Amino acid sequence: MGYLSCKAQSSISVSNSHAPSPSSSSSKNIKIQYYDYSDLEAATDGFSEQKLLGKGSHGYVYKAFLKGQHVAIKKPSRGLELATEVDNEIEILSKIQSPRLVNLVGFSNDSKSRILVVEFMSNGTLYDILHSNTRSLNWGRRIRLALQIAKAIDTLHSQSPPIIHRDIKSANVLIDRNFNARLGDFGLALRCHANDGRFLSTPPAGTMGYLDPLYVTPDNLSTKTDVFSFGILLLEIISGRKAIDVGYSPPSIVDWAIPLIRKGKLLCVYDPRIAPPKDPVVRKQLAVIAAKCVRSCRERRPAMKEIVNWLTGLSKLVPLHSWNGFNNPCLMVETMGQPMLQNGCRNGV
């Protein structure tokens, strides 16, 4: 079938109240630092608002400087569920590192709070970049970011047992100082234990708009769950539209884009803020890849390795032609005050 369906359990037991020790990852040659709570508190000026980068899925994220490097410190909100997500992220990231992931630097685990220290990504999230009114990525950069995200997911799926992220979305893709994409936020990630009957303790989870509609019970989880979410993300990259946007009808990016792709109205799907890809092969294949990922029949969705191969080929056809990875200014055709593609497809059609 080309994918793995499994009965999954959390990668760390809910009943385990202790985070793994730094030495537990030594067999993987991954160096994880242990920090005192007081050190992290001092590095963030007492978790001050001046150091606050934003609010993540399981708490607040602060910028800090520790042992000669800039890092992001993730301080969870109170609650057992959020503490479990922190445990889960530590367990996952203490055993795997990749240039395509936001890697774990270390953690604190004392009586006050369990806190993650991860790599600092200086250029924010892909969500912010895609939906910014002040800057727009060119197609060479968009394809390369999509390829880097696909490689990140493939890295997870290639583990033994596979890791399923379960929350692929543009807000969880961080952009590093070299304008490369890194996949982050592993609080919902699961290791896929095919013969483990305890899967019933791990209910479906994810983000509306990106969530596979076939993932309704724990035993529906598979690597193709992430493939569906990646398809939504790729449509977001192509169109510049949010996964769910009530300002449009239909609000779902799938319900809007897939009928247009099926009718061959590909230009209507492309971001109207910039000219579409010049190469008709690139225009067609990008849209087709996204459509294949969100197929209602899970068995017909491609594996991430296939997607990586396809995007690798497309990336060779489109040059970057950008300064610091971004176009400036955006290319746009104005018609009666509204952005319009040259084929007459208005934004939101």
Please give the DSSP secondary-structure letter assigned to residue 143.
H
265 labelled binding-site residue: no
Q: Could you tell me where the beta strands, DSSP code E, fall in the chain?
A: 9-10, 33-34, 52-56, 59-66, 69-76, 104-109, 114-119, 163-164, 173-175, 181-183, 190-191, 334-335, 338-339
Taking the chain, what is the end-to-end CA distance rounded to the nearest angstrom?
Answer: 36
* Beta strands 104-109 and 33-34, pairing class: parallel
Tokens standing for residue 164? 């399923």
Q: Scan for tokens 């197929």, then name that residue.
A: 295
CA distances, 54 to each of 43, 69, 149 (Å): 16, 19, 22
Q: Is 167 a catalytic residue?
A: yes
Select which of 167, 185, 212, 271 is catalytic. 167
At residue 95, φ and ψ (nearest 5 deg) are -120, 0
How many Å separate Cα 72 from the centre of its chain? 17
Catalytic machinery residues:
167
Binding site: which residues? 75
Binding site for ATP: which residues? 75
